[in-house]
């Protein structure tokens, strides 16, 4: 027998709390980084019931965990348990990363920077002056809408079936973030399926799906009608990564758009979380190697 000596009394403990966590691929990112960088650490999925959230979080601090990620449905609830929150968490009201130091909980949100990093690296372009359409108005939509406005997007249209939720996000950004944008109200909202919504899908530069429509196992569904033409040939991004190509992305690709799935966002939010926990910058060559292997693995 080959003895497995990877875990010992000095192993740094990290993990993911959420529910469900059965299908998470985050351990692949973090455990690959631990091995590749020769850091004695481990990342574990930690399924947590809602009634046990506070007990679980206190337990991780008591057991000396270095930090943890937070996923659905606790990204908002975790904020009430933090000792300190960074600016991003204060702005968004959600956290996906917690660093534990001397028993205190420090909250971060790496989803937005993960998305922007992935988008820029994968597309070779940025948001400056761009017209961006966001489908959906949940937690991810809010994070990405704030981020693209901060990144200098010209106009942002949020399309959601519950349009009141889109209006809340638009109002929040227009009131708090639009000062430097040169536009009085950079964010506006529409109902899906309307003529105006169709015009946006045919004329904007970037379209991002943040709804869960099309995600496994409901892979036959799409957040837009099948006959949308995408006439302006926008960059089309879907934050879903399972399946690797949603019905929405397949339709956009067939109509000549460059399309990207959410694997890059997942990867880069994870890398940023890892850097926060380990208090390091992962070297560029390691990032390139990890990125190539991970994105290939996610296409398979
Ligand atoms: P959320 O807060 O629950 O929001 C879900 C959104 O989807 C809402 O806008 C909701 O519309 C819409 N929606 C759900 N079912 C719909 C349907 N049948 N028809 C039309 N709209 C529907 O969820 P979230 O946390 O933002 O997550 C959204 C997606 O992002 C998930 O697929 C998640 O896996 C993915 N995600 C990916 C990453 C990554 O790293 N790639 C990170 C975070 C999240 P209503 O407002 O009308 O209910």
Q: Are 130 and 153 in contact (CB under 8 A)?
A: yes
Q: Is 222 in the pocket of ligand 1 (CB under 6 A)?
A: no
Our measurement of the distance from residue 54's CA atom to the centroid of its chain's CA atoms, rounded to an integer in Å, reads 23
Q: Are 115 and 143 in contact (CB under 8 A)?
A: yes
pLDDT of 297 reads: 94
User: Which residue out of 117, 122, 140 has the highest number of ligand 1 atoms within 8 Å of its CB and is therefore the one to mutate?
Assistant: 140
* C-alpha radius of gyration, the chain, whole number: 20
pLDDT band at 193 (very low <50, low <70, confident <90, very high): very high
For residue 139, cis peptide bond before it (omega within 30 degrees of 0) = no
Q: Is 276 in the pocket of ligand 1 (CB under 6 A)?
A: no
15 vs 44: CA distance, rounded Å: 4
Distances (CA, A) of 288 to 84, 123, 267, 272: 32, 15, 11, 14
Q: Is 139 in the pocket of ligand 1 (CB under 6 A)?
A: yes
| Atom 27 of ligand 1, residue of closest alpha carbon | 140
pLDDT of 185 reads: 78
| Mean pLDDT to the nearest integer, 55-82 | 97
Any catalytic annotation for residue 47?
no
Domains of the chain: 12-109+264-299 (3.40.50.10860), 112-261 (3.40.50.720)
**List 12, 75, 130, 131, catalytic entry:** 75
User: Which residue out of 111, 119, 211, 263 has the highest number of ligand 1 atoms within 8 Å of its CB and is therefore the one to mutate?
Assistant: 211
pLDDT band at 177 (very low <50, low <70, confident <90, very high): confident
**Using one digit for the tens of pLDDT, what is the confidence trace for 247-290?**
999 999 999 999 999 999 999 999 999 999 999 999 999 999 99
**Using one digit for the tens of pLDDT, what is the confidence trace for 197-255?**
999 999 999 999 999 999 999 999 999 998 999 999 999 999 999 999 999 999 999 99
88 vs 68: CA distance, rounded Å: 17
């Amino acid at each position: 027998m080959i003895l497995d000596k990877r875990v010992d009394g000095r192993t740094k403990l990290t993990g993911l709390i959420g529910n469900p966590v059965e299908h998470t691929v985050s351990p692949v990112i973090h455990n690959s980084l631990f091995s590749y960088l020769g850091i004695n650490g481990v990342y574990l999925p930690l399924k947590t019931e809602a009634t046990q959230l506070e007990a679980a979080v206190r337990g991780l601090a008591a057991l000396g965990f270095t930090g943890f990620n937070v996923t659905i449905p606790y990204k908002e609830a975790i904020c009430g348990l933090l000792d300190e929150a960074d600016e991003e968490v204060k702005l968004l009201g959600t956290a996906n990363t917690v660093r534990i130091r001397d028993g205190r909980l420090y909250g971060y949100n790496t989803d937005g920077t993960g998305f922007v990093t992935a988008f820029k690296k994968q597309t070779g372009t940025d948001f400056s002056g761009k017209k961006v359409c966001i489908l959906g108005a949940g937690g991810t939509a809010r994070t990405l809408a704030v981020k693209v406005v901060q990144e200098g997007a010209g106009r942002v249209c949020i399309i959601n079936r519950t349009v009141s939720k889109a209006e809340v996000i638009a109002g929040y950004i227009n009131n708090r973030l639009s000062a430097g944008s040169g536009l009085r109200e950079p964010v506006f909202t529409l109902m899906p399926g309307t003529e105006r919504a169709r015009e946006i899908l045919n004329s904007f530069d970037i379209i991002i799906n943040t709804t869960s429509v099309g995600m496994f196992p409901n892979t036959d569904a799409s957040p837009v009608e099948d006959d949308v033409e995408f006439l302006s040939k926008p960059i089309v991004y879907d934050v879903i990564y399972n399946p690797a190509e949603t019905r929405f992305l397949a339709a956009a690709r067939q109509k000549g758009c460059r399309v990207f799935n959410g694997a890059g966002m997942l990867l880069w939010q994870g890398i940023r979380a890892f850097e926060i926990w380990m208090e390091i910058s992962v070297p560029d060559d390691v990032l390139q190697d990890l990125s190539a292997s991970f994105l290939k693995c996610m296409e398979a």
